[in-house]
Structure 1
Amino acid sequence: MSDEAPDPRRWRALSVCLVAGFMTLLDVSIVNVALPSMQAGLGASSAELSWVVSGYALTFGLVLVAAGRLGDDRGRRRMFLAGLALFTLTSAGAGLATAAWVLVAVRLLQGAAAGLLSPQVVGFIQDLFDGRERGTAFGLFGASIGVSTAVGPLLGGLLLAWAGLAEGWRWVFYVNVPIGVAALVYAMRVLPADAASPGRRRPLDLVGALLLGVAVVALMLPLVLAERDPAAAPWWLLVVAAVVLAGFVAWERRAKRVHGLPLVDLALLRIRSYAVGAALGTTYFAGFTSIFFVLTLFFQNGLRYTPLEAGLVLTPFAVGSAVSSALSGRLVSRFGTAMIVVGLGVVLVGLAVTDVVLRVTAGAPGTGWAVAGPLLLAGAGGGLVIAPNQTLALSEIPRSSGGTAAGVLQTGQRIGTAIGLSLVGAVFFGELSGSGDWVSAISDGLVVTVALVAVAFLLGLTDLVRSRRAPQVAGAR
């Protein structure tokens, strides 16, 4: 707990951080329902549409760690404002795009802006809050993650229903502009000023940033390209990723030994709470985000729901996640890892019941209503996972490394998302191309999703058991 008096503007600062974080994550999911509109309005090819989605995810993940380090060293407020301004500008540019290649290029920049912005949100929470207040703040942040991911299809459907198929996709991006401008003005008023550096600013480890960037791109590129066509993905890049990542680790160890200024202090990974939280978050996001991918495709393309109707189907998940996330942040200090394990168990039950319901109804009228209950349950479970896991993972991280630690944590989440979408997409489209049966395809996809969440559940359960045994062993000694 810090001895300094808490910043009186901390809750207002949190509100603008949550708005900015919500926008960056909303743009991951809202675009999916607008792809047919982009194809109609711009004449985009399937490859270009794929890059509109995957390019954003790729550059988002690419800059997270370096952006977190810049926030730690050069000023979190400065990096936040720069990222928010660039995100707002590129949102306007995406909406104004006159050709598919222009839209792809702007989406790459927009993803980089999101990656610059996102670690600063977590860093501010680390800086401004302590104790139970920090848990509450992370709970609200977790709610924004869950809601933004689940509500994207609904908001996209509303915008398309209002603006029409030909031009409706532009409003998916335009909606960020007035919100971004207002948030930028408000952020300049309420975000705390960056502390003046007493001496020369620490230089950024450019070699480390380059090595990590190459490793992330080489790892994520085949994964994001494999969502619809696994056979065409450049899987050889995974070997490149492993080699470059090994080089990155060796370089960071050398940097720590020679001048003490690595991009990532690998000692962070020796902190058990952080290492477990990073691993659990990566595996959970692999299952969590793929849910919306396959369900949106199933209802919109398989059952011919409109984008708005498909979005409404996923709304119960968003509602359950929002409510339980807000509550879990206040309870994490009391229940700790046990609450995360319970949440993961509830998610497993909700998704398993969703699969059973889809098999039983077999796409009959009313299927959307039939899955509302289990999706609400799964969302409520998910709200007990994201915020508490982030709170516990960062609980032992010093404030001076908060942005970097958040960047590493969120890079793992982005990689987990890419892995999940690749695996679920391969199974989903493989079954669909073989049998043409949408019900079988969605069921097989959900089985993979359940398996990924089950891995996260086992990780959490193992950590819980080990933590319960540790005091007993210490006492026995």
Structure 2
Amino acid sequence: MTAHPSRSAVDPPPSGVAGPAAARRWRALAVCLVAGFMTLLDVSIVNVALPTVRAGLHMSESGLQWVLSGYALAFGLVLVPAGRLGDARSRRAVFLTGLALFTLASALAGAARSQEWLVLARLFQGAAGGVLVPQVSGFIQTLFQGAERGRAFGALGATIGLSTAVGPLLGGLLIHLFGPQDGWRWVFLVNLPIGVAALPLAHRLLPPPAPAAERAGHRDFDPVGVLLLGAGTVALLLPFVQEQQWHSAARWLLLPLAAALLGAFVGWERYYARRREPLVNMALFAVRPYAAGVALSLVYFAGFTAIFFIFTLYLQAGLHYSALSAGLAITPFALGSAGAAAVGGRLVARLGRRLVVAGLLLVLCGLMASAGAVRLWSGAATGWATALPLLVAGAGSGLVIAPNQTLTLQRVPVARAGSAGGVLQTAQRVGSAVGIAIVGSVFFAHARGRHPDWALAFQLGVAVAAGLVLVALVVAVADVAAGDTP
């Protein structure tokens, strides 16, 4: 594997070149980000809608869990194969297919008439989102270079942060506008006009694939690798996404099975790479910034995503906030994340991984200050008391996600951008599932029973999440000490 991406027929001109081609690249990126925003929004927007979904469809607790976890499971399952498919065939065609399927799945979810219907629609929706998302990072690698690529990843990082944090607010607003009976349907149906508008724009603006001759060495799809990775991912995620419903200790037997399957996957990929292009080229992990970035994403998303899960539960179940009020309370994080991500995209070329270290320190300070605010002002004023700490944590998060994506993928060849981005996204999804399970178990241990202590449950959950962010900080500091180069 070469140290830096090689230029191809679809590579952009050097950064700084203005004109119609440059404007077209940014318009193409805007379409990608809108589509990516929809898929990532649906990870968090459903949280505040669960009480009305349960009432509207008379769902069981297990069914509600699958509405959440089924999406995450299907999403994570197809990320890497879909990224590889985009690399090997046509990234534009795969993107358009994923966008069309996601729009259709959103319509089916919004029209659900039973628990089984909604769960199947969410599985379909998650798989479609997993097809679409790795193409976004692949297009950024294809369309941008140098400092422009950092700014493009900054925009992607802002999109990730916004979609995660604004989901509860938008969900609460839709339920408030359309009422508890049908408001939950609009949580899904809101994707329809966006998807319908984005499809023709994506077809017109996204670049076509490179000539077949240029991709001749990358057309293999590695079906054995797909099966091993898929089975290993399911075995790894299932005990965590079903942690609240599957109480038997037997579920943890899936973890050694996952380790065996993923070990077999690594061995197969190394063997397959001797003859053909594998699903994931293990040489990627010999590049230190890539390996460090994937590890950092895994542990950071475990802490970062879990905060929204327990904070929303604390506000709605513990303090009886409405869905809209709970969403508004999380908005400072979204604002801080969006603003800082744009700034981080511009600074990462100069500061490198040191910028990520600074962001992680801000996240830690913001999280611990949030826990302290809840201890002092638990009650109706909690939303106001946590506003500034969440703003600080959000700003730190914006300096972590976007710069880390840039640094992780900057030395990946364009021909492997989709599969490399898929691995990074899979690490984020696995981290999210594991973090919610770990932090959630600590939270529920103190939020259940006849006299639950919601404030203490939130504080302890935040402490565990902060510990996971601290592990991410250790990874980032180790990368800097090993010789991070901006």
Tell me the TM-score range normalised by the shorter chain.
Answer: over 0.9
One-letter amino acid matched to 1:238: L
- Match of residue 150, structure 2, among 128, 131, 135: 135
Scaled by the length of structure 1, the TM-score of the pair is 0.96
Report 1:419-438 matches (<5 A). Answer: 419-433=434-448, 436-438=452-454
Following superposition, the deviation at residue 254 of structure 1 comes to 1.5
Which secondary structure does the structure 1 equivalent of 2:241 belong to?
helix
2:267 paired with 1:250? yes
Following superposition, the deviation at residue 175 of structure 1 comes to 0.1
Cα deviation 1:29-87 (Å, max 9, x = unaligned): 00011111111111111100000000000010000110010000101101000000000
2:342 paired with 1:334? no
**Greater alpha carbon shift after TM alignment, 173-182 vs 237-246:** 237-246
Which secondary structure does the structure 1 equivalent of 2:220 belong to?
coil
Which secondary structure does the structure 2 equivalent of 1:261 belong to?
coil
Report 1:290-439 matches (<5 A). Answer: 290-363=306-379, 365-433=380-448, 436-439=452-455
One-letter amino acid matched to 2:108: G
2:13 paired with 1:5? yes
Identity of aligned residues (%): 57
Contact 1:227–1:423 (8 Å) recurs in 2: no
Cα deviation 1:117-149 (Å, max 9, x = unaligned): 000000000000001100000000000000100
Contact 1:228–1:426 (8 Å) recurs in 2: no
**Greater alpha carbon shift after TM alignment, 192-201 vs 311-320:** 192-201
Report 1:15-164 matches (<5 A). Answer: 15-164=30-179
Aligned equivalents of 2:261, 2:301: Cα separation in 1: 24
Contact 1:427–1:445 (8 Å) recurs in 2: yes
One-letter amino acid matched to 1:462: A
- Match of residue 475, structure 2, among 453, 459, 462: 459
Pick closer, same or farther for the CA change 1:122–1:378 going to 2, 3 Å: same
Contact 1:126–1:402 (8 Å) recurs in 2: yes
2:17 matched to which residue of 1? none
Aligned equivalents of 1:135, 1:127: Cα separation in 2: 13
Contact 1:230–1:422 (8 Å) recurs in 2: no
1:261 matched to which residue of 2? 277
Aligned equivalents of 2:415, 2:361: Cα separation in 1: 35
The ranges of structure 1 where at least 4 consecutive aligned residues each deviate by more than 6 angstroms after the TM superposition are none
One-letter amino acid matched to 2:243: A
Aligned equivalents of 1:354, 1:99: Cα separation in 2: 39
**Greater alpha carbon shift after TM alignment, 148-157 vs 433-442:** 433-442
Pick closer, same or farther for the CA change 1:455–1:307 going to 2, 3 Å: same
One-letter amino acid matched to 1:64: L
Aligned equivalents of 1:111, 1:144: Cα separation in 2: 18
One-letter amino acid matched to 1:170: R
Pick closer, same or farther for the CA change 1:207–1:52 going to 2, 3 Å: same
Contact 2:94–2:131 (8 Å) recurs in 1: yes
Following superposition, the deviation at residue 367 of structure 1 comes to 1.4
Aligned equivalents of 2:439, 2:196: Cα separation in 1: 37
Aligned equivalents of 1:115, 1:430: Cα separation in 2: 33
Following superposition, the deviation at residue 256 of structure 1 comes to 1.3
2:254 matched to which residue of 1? 237
2:183 paired with 1:175? no
Pick closer, same or farther for the CA change 1:288–1:230 going to 2, 3 Å: farther
Aligned equivalents of 2:239, 2:245: Cα separation in 1: 11
Following superposition, the deviation at residue 13 of structure 1 comes to 0.3
Aligned equivalents of 1:147, 1:156: Cα separation in 2: 13
Aligned equivalents of 1:401, 1:193: Cα separation in 2: 16
Which secondary structure does the structure 1 equivalent of 2:280 belong to?
coil
Aligned equivalents of 2:277, 2:410: Cα separation in 1: 23
1:473 matched to which residue of 2? none
Q: State the Cα RMSD in Å.
A: 1.6
**Greater alpha carbon shift after TM alignment, 328-337 vs 196-205:** 196-205
Aligned equivalents of 1:290, 1:397: Cα separation in 2: 30
Contact 1:227–1:421 (8 Å) recurs in 2: no
The alignment of Structure 1 onto Structure 2 pairs a total of residues equal to 468
Contact 1:226–1:232 (8 Å) recurs in 2: no
1:474 matched to which residue of 2? none
One-letter amino acid matched to 1:215: G
Following superposition, the deviation at residue 5 of structure 1 comes to 2.6
Following superposition, the deviation at residue 230 of structure 1 comes to 5.3
2:238 paired with 1:221? yes
Following superposition, the deviation at residue 27 of structure 1 comes to 0.0
